[in-house]
Amino acid sequence: NPPPQFFDAPVSGGTAGASKGTLTIMLGCAQDSPSLPLLTRILRTMGTNVYALGGPSLGLATELKNNNLSGMIAPATTEAMNLGMRLSVDPRMLQRCFSTSSGGSWVNDTVNPVPGVCPDTVTSKGYKGGFKACALMKKDMGLAIAAAKEVGAKLVLGDAGLAVYAAASEDQRCRDRDSRVCIAI
C-alpha cells in the first residue's frame, strides 16, 4: 500500500458552478505526482477546470488569492457602474462594453453588482445566496494581508479592500447576503 498523502482542493464558481459541474478546482498536488491522474478524474466530476498547483496547501493559497482578487474587483466594478449610471449610461450597455473591453472580469460578466444587469444572479435576487456574508470576504481579505506580510509582499490595495468588507460586515443590511451587497448598499 502507498503511504497516505494529503491533497487540498478548494473550489471557485459558487453554487451555480457546483450545480452545473463547472467549478474551478485548485488542487494542492504536484504536477508530477502519480496520484494526479486519479485525482483529476475524480475532481472533473465536479468541475471543468482542475489545476495542479504544487504540493499541499498551494490549492488553498491560490483560492485565498482568487477570493482576494475577486474581493478587490467587486468594489471597482461597483464604482465604475455607479459612475457610469450617474453619467446617464444604461447599466446593461455599460456592462456589455466592459465585458468586451479591458475592464472585463468574471464579476462584471457573471455577478454584476447592479440588480437586473445579470438577471439570473444573486445580485438580481436581493443579494441572497452566492458568497454569503461580507464577514467571509472580510476574513479572506484579512488572511491575504496576513500572508502578504508573512512573505514580505506589498499589497497596495489590501487595506482599502479590507476596510470595505469590515464596514459592511458591521452593517445589519448586509447580514447573510452575498458579499457584493456591501458595496451596493
pLDDT per residue as tens digits for the range 57-112: 999 999 999 999 988 998 889 889 989 999 999 999 999 999 999 999 988 888 78
Q: How confident is the model at residue 47 (pLDDT cuts 50, 70, 90)?
A: very high
Report the alpha-carbon distance of residue 5 to residue 59 in Å, rounded.
15
pLDDT at 179: 58
Is 120 or 11 the better-scoring residue by pLDDT?
Answer: 11
pLDDT at 175 over 90: no
All cell numbers assigned to 82? 455607479
Question: Do 12 and 47 form a contact (C-beta atoms < 8 A)?
Answer: no
C-alpha dist (Å) from residue 134 to 68, 82, 131, 140: 13, 20, 8, 10
Write the pLDDT tens digit of every residue in 152-170.
Answer: 999 999 999 899 888 888 8
Overall pTM > 0.95? no
The average confidence (pLDDT) of the chain is 87
Of the candidates 59, 66, 81, 79, which has an alpha carbon nearest to the alpha carbon of residue 131? Answer: 66
Residue 73's identity, in one-letter code, is: I
Picking from 36, 8, 13, the residue whose alpha carbon sits closest to that of residue 24 is 13
Four-point Cα dihedral 57, 60, 61, 67, nearest 10:
180
What pLDDT does residue 111 have?
79
Domain ranges in the chain are 11-56, 60-184
Q: Do strands 11-12 and 47-52 pair parallel, antiparallel, or not at all (unpaired)?
A: unpaired
SS3 track for the chain: CCCCCCCCCCEECHHHHHHHCCEEEEECCCCCCCCHHHHHHHHCCCEEEEEECCCCCHHHHHHHHHHHHHHHHHHHHHHHHHHHHHCCCCHHHHHHHHHCCCCCCHHHHHCCCCCCCCCCCHHHCCCCCCCECHHHHHHHHHHHHHHHHHHCCCCCCHHHHHHHHHHHHHCHHHCCCECCHHHHC
For the cut 80, the answer to whether the pLDDT of residue 133 exceeds it is: no
Residue 185 above 60 pLDDT? no
Is the domain defined by 60-184 classed in CATH 1.10.1040.10? yes
